[in-house]
């Protein structure tokens, strides 16, 4: 019987030792939940101008770029930048706004590195991350769009003690300015530049020594790199993920030791897929030690909203719903991009599609042009979107609570080892449930004990520890419904409460979606759907081109609709309007029902009593997206 993994034990011990909860259940919400983000370069003396510009376009949550540890000059001498950060924090607070400052994770650039005597690499070559062959992580202009010609770009080992000591000192100094948040850009192992993708770095002396101390293994000799069947390589994978979870926790604790209210927000581009394992920044692990995560997330080549096809939009929804589950009540920010000069697609439509897709999933919208954090593709459109979000922020950002969900299990350990097989099954099943318009809930090891649904699906989950198996055994003993697709790792015997599909319906449905998305039929998986046995009191009738998510908000049932019908990447960003969408409720009572179209106004709608006692509501036309809710007079929550 497989025991709990070394990584899982280490993370739980880390959290427990530091008095943290792996699954926070905060009832109060802070400013991070309501941000409408815009980004600005900070150069000193321009604080008032930045804040005024942000206020004018509805920005609530001002990102400023004045990186201290990521530029070697200010890593050594931070005083000038610290004053600029203090000034913008003061200006933001005076306006009733919040500000957070960008800093690099393990990257550091020396300007004109080809001309100056002192650079980080020249002064401290032992700090650098390295390939197994010893090649240091040093790059120049052209390697990435943000590295200018002549500059030296290096990636530092998080285990370099002298660097880490100074880095954390800079974090404390930044926190002391009064800034509201520290935004840490891509704290990664260097595996994402050309020629480094398959290195599984870093093999610098400090990192190798840390791994040896904890496992007794020599990372340079005892691993079969890239071979997930090698138990020693699996330990290396776990070690690399835990390293950056601890690094971000260290940043958070150092910042809060000076300013207890400051927020720590890493920017991460890997999401639920294999990339998270490769770069070592796993958002599932990171949510437990930070205040929010900004996801620079895209999948399937659809980085720009203007280029996405409907399947890519659905895959994006899967990612965001996963992030919201990982967050456990913390905020999820989306740093994504809508348009970059596409002459065939209207930029305002692309911006609206991106915003709609994100807020319907409960994530916060960050408006940015091209691949730049700062600026906007269209400021009037930004203001229109932000003003509307502000007017309805409680609808979208108060906690969403599952009522009668079908659970879909996200297994981090399975993803770490069998990423492609697991994600394909997991994604296919979630898209299927979205298209069937059934209430679903992403369940994780941290939330398993709190799951209240009647059915839990294991989508080709190949790795389970003893705790997980024990919970599943009790779940089926209580006559709840367990559906296993693909590999069965549960070690449960034959029982009426367990249904197995060795040929995974999630993978089969993904193949159908990829082959012909428009004509893929959710009911092609009728046997699987029959086994799921949904118990929801809501029934939604809508096209499978519409993604739905259902949850209780402030005690009242809400249905969030995201319409992707008619969208053609790089050709057409305007949806086919959806008419005849219907919601049937089992217990409508004497409450009132409401409909909120994207960028529109709240409308009260009337229902029709049906012969079976249900109340049926035919919704107004849905263009881009909408929310339906039923107000039965439940107690209202308010944000702090």
Q: How confident is the model over 575-616, as pLDDT tens digits?
A: 999 999 999 998 767 889 999 999 999 999 999 999 888 999
Question: 155 and 129 share a domain?
Answer: yes
Burial of 213 (0-12, 13-18, 19+ CB in 10 A): exposed
| Residue 187 domain flag | yes
Choose the final residue of a domain: 501, 532, 563: 532
pLDDT tens for residues 518-575?
999 999 999 999 999 888 889 999 999 999 999 999 999 999 999 999 999 999 999 9
* Tokens 């610290």 belong to residue: 82
Q: Is the dihedral of CA 343, 344, 349, 352 positive or negative?
A: negative
Average pLDDT over residues 184-208: 97
Query: How many structural domains does the chain have?
Result: 3
| Residue 254 domain flag | yes
pLDDT tens for residues 454-478?
999 999 999 999 999 999 999 999 9
Cα separation, 105 vs 155, whole angstroms: 9
Whole-prediction pTM value? 0.94
Question: 470 and 619 share a domain?
Answer: no
Cα separation, 528 vs 534, whole angstroms: 12
Give long-range contacts, CB 8 A cutoff, 24+ apart: 509-517: 509/428, 509/429, 509/431, 509/432, 510/424, 510/425, 510/427, 510/428, 510/431, 513/311, 513/314, 513/428, 513/431, 514/311, 517/309, 517/310, 517/311
Residue 58 per-residue DSSP state = T
Question: 547 and 525 share a domain?
Answer: no
Q: What percent of the chain has pLDDT over 90?
A: 88
Checking if the pLDDT of 8 tops 80, the result is no
Average pLDDT over residues 614-626: 97
Peptide bond into 202 cis (omega under 30): yes
| Residue 427 domain flag | yes
Choose the final residue of a domain: 532, 554, 576: 532
| Residue 84 domain flag | yes
Question: 56 and 12 share a domain?
Answer: yes
Checking if the pLDDT of 26 tops 50, the result is no
Question: 117 and 257 share a domain?
Answer: yes
Question: 429 and 553 share a domain?
Answer: no
Question: 550 and 527 share a domain?
Answer: no
Token pair, residue 387, equals 């003003």
| Residue 32 domain flag | no
Question: 511 and 560 share a domain?
Answer: no
Question: 128 and 143 share a domain?
Answer: yes
Closest by CA position to 219, among listed 129, 124, 156: 129
Choose the final residue of a domain: 532, 551, 571: 532
Residue ranges of the alpha helices (H) in 488-639?
Answer: 505-515, 526-532
Question: 431 and 549 share a domain?
Answer: no
- Residue pair 631/605 in contact (Cβ under 8 Å)? The answer is no
- Residue pair 448/461 in contact (Cβ under 8 Å)? The answer is no
Question: 2 and 144 share a domain?
Answer: yes
Question: 421 and 561 share a domain?
Answer: no
Identify the domain containing residue 598 by its residue range.
Answer: 538-631
Cα separation, 174 vs 86, whole angstroms: 8
Report CA Rg, the chain.
Answer: 25
| Residue 297 domain flag | no
pLDDT tens for residues 217-263?
999 999 999 999 999 999 999 999 999 999 999 999 999 999 999 99
pLDDT at position 300: 53
CATH code of the domain in which 411 resides: 3.40.50
| Residue 518 domain flag | yes
CATH code of the domain in which 583 resides: 2.60.40.1180
Cα separation, 570 vs 20, whole angstroms: 46
| Residue 475 domain flag | yes
Closest by CA position to 280, among listed 405, 140, 106, 430: 106
């Amino acid at each position: 019987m497989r025991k709990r993994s070394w990584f899982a034990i280490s993370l739980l011990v880390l959290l427990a030792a530091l008095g943290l909860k792996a699954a926070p259940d905060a009832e109060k919400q802070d400013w991070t939940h309501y941000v409408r983000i815009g980004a600005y370069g900070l150069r000193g003396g321009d604080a008032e101008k930045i804040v005024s510009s942000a206020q004018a376009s509805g920005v609530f949550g001002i990102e400023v770029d004045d990186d201290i540890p990521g530029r070697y000059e200010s890593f050594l001498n931070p005083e000038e930048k610290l004053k600029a950060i203090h000034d913008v924090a003061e200006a933001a607070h005076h306006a009733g706004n919040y500000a957070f400052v960008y800093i690099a994770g393990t990257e550091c650039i020396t300007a004109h590195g080809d001309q100056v005597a002192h650079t980080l690499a020249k002064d401290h070559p032992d700090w650098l991350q390295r390939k197994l062959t010893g090649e240091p992580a040093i790059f120049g202009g052209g390697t990435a769009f943000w590295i200018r010609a002549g500059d030296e770009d290096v990636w530092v080992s998080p285990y370099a003690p002298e660097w880490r000591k100074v880095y954390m000192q800079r974090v404390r100094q930044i926190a002391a300015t009064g800034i509201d948040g520290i935004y840490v850009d891509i704290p990664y192992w260097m595996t994402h530049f050309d020629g480094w993708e398959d290195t599984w770095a870093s093999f610098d002396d400090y990192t190798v020594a840390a791994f040896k101390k904890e496992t007794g293994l020599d990372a340079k000799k005892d691993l079969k790199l890239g071979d997930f069947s090698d138990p020693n390589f699996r330990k290396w994978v776990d070690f690399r993920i835990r390293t950056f979870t601890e690094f971000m926790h260290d940043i958070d604790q150092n910042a809060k030791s000076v300013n207890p209210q400051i927020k720590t927000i890493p920017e991460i581009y890997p999401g639920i897929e294999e990339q998270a394992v490769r770069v070592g920044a796993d958002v599932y692990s990171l949510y437990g030690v930070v205040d929010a995560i900004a996801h620079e997330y895209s999948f399937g080549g659809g980085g720009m909203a203007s280029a996405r096809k409907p399947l890519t939009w659905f895959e994006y929804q899967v990612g965001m719903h996963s992030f919201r589950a990982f967050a456990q009540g913390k905020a999820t920010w989306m740093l994504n991009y809508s348009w970059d000069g596409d002459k065939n697609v209207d930029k305002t439509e692309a911006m609206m599609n991106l915003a709609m897709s994100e807020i319907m999933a409960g994530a916060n919208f960050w408006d940015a042009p091209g691949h730049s954090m700062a600026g906007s593709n269209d400021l009037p459109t930004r203001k229109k979107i932000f003003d509307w979000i502000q007017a309805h922020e409680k609808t979208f950002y108060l906690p969403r609570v599952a009522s009668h969900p079908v659970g879909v299990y996200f297994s981090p350990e399975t993803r770490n080892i069998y990423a492609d097989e697991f994600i394909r099954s997991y994604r296919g099943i979630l898209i299927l449930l979205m298209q069937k318009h059934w209430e679903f809930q992403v369940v994780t090891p941290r939330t398993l004990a709190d799951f209240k649904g009647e059915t839990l699906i294991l989508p080709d989950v190949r790795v389970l520890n003893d705790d997980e198996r024990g919970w599943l055994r009790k779940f089926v003993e209580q006559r709840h419904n367990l559906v296993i697709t693909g590999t069965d790792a549960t070690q449960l015997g034959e029982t009426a409460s367990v249904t197995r599909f060795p040929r995974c319906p999630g993978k089969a449905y993904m193949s159908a979606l990829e082959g012909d998305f428009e004509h893929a039929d959710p009911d092609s998986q009728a046997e699987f759907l029959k086994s799921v046995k949904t118990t929801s009191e809501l029934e939604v009738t809508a096209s499978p081109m519409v993604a739905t998510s259902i949850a209780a908000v402030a005690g009242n049932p809400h249905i969030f609709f995201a319409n992707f019908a008619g969208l053609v990447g790089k050709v057409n960003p305007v949806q086919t309007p959806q008419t005849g969408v219907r919601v049937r409720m089992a217990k409508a009572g004497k409450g009132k029902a409401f409909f909120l179209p994207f960028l529109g106004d709240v409308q009260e709608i009337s229902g029709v009593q049906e012969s079976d006692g249900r109340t049926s509501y035919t919704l107004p036309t849905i263009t881009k997206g909408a929310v339906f809710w039923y107000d039965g007079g439940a107690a209202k929550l308010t944000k702090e």
